[in-house]
Amino acid sequence: MSEDRPDPRHRRPEGLDDATVEALGKLSEALETTERARGHLYTFHQLTGHADLMLDEAVELLHAAGHGAYAEEVRTELVGRNVIEGRWTFQIVEDYDDGYHRCFRELEERVRNALAGGRRHLYEAEMKERRRTRGLPGHEAVPE
């Protein structure tokens, strides 16, 4: 049986104070929130692209129903239209990924490396230690 302690990668380095662990935990939580936002941005990208492709069928159906003028209005005004000035959604995603998101990830890693030797999720690891019931199945510190 393994030692009932967290993996060394999730143990606080010697001398790291509570305030720093809490600050790093909040920085990590903020990064996780941007990851969720990024996922929603990709959802927006895919849904908008799918809607644009669905317009092709709507145009065909409007033509078939005898509404050629409306079909052409949909085709010329909406099909292929930028979602914001000069940009389709893939460009928004790329700008987010290459700018804000990349900067956020790199800065979080740089701060974590400098202050905690690169250890991730120290705040959560310590919370797990406080909350788990030692010795009870399902409450192990690490997998066997």
pTM of the full structure: 0.85
Whether 106 and 99 have beta carbons less than 8 Å apart is answered as no
Separation between Cα atoms, residue 96 and residue 41, nearest integer Å: 9
User: Is 69 among the domain residues?
Assistant: yes
Separation between Cα atoms, residue 77 and residue 82, nearest integer Å: 10
CA atoms within 13 A on the CB side of 121: 11
What is the distance, to the nearest Å, from the Cα of residue 132 to the centroid of all Cα atoms in its chain?
28
What residues in the chain have per-residue pLDDT under 50? Answer: 1
User: Is 57 among the domain residues?
Assistant: yes
User: Is 64 among the domain residues?
Assistant: yes
9 CB-near residues (< 8 Å, 6+ apart): 119, 120
List the helix and strand counts (H, then E) for the chain. 5, 0
User: Is 3 among the domain residues?
Assistant: no
User: Is 4 among the domain residues?
Assistant: no
124 CB-near residues (< 8 Å, 6+ apart): 25
User: Is 142 among the domain residues?
Assistant: no
**Number of compact structural domains in the chain:** 1
Residue range(s) defining the domain that contains residue 77: 14-131
User: Is 2 among the domain residues?
Assistant: no
Separation between Cα atoms, residue 136 and residue 41, nearest integer Å: 41
User: Is 7 among the domain residues?
Assistant: no
Q: What is the pLDDT of residue 2?
A: 57
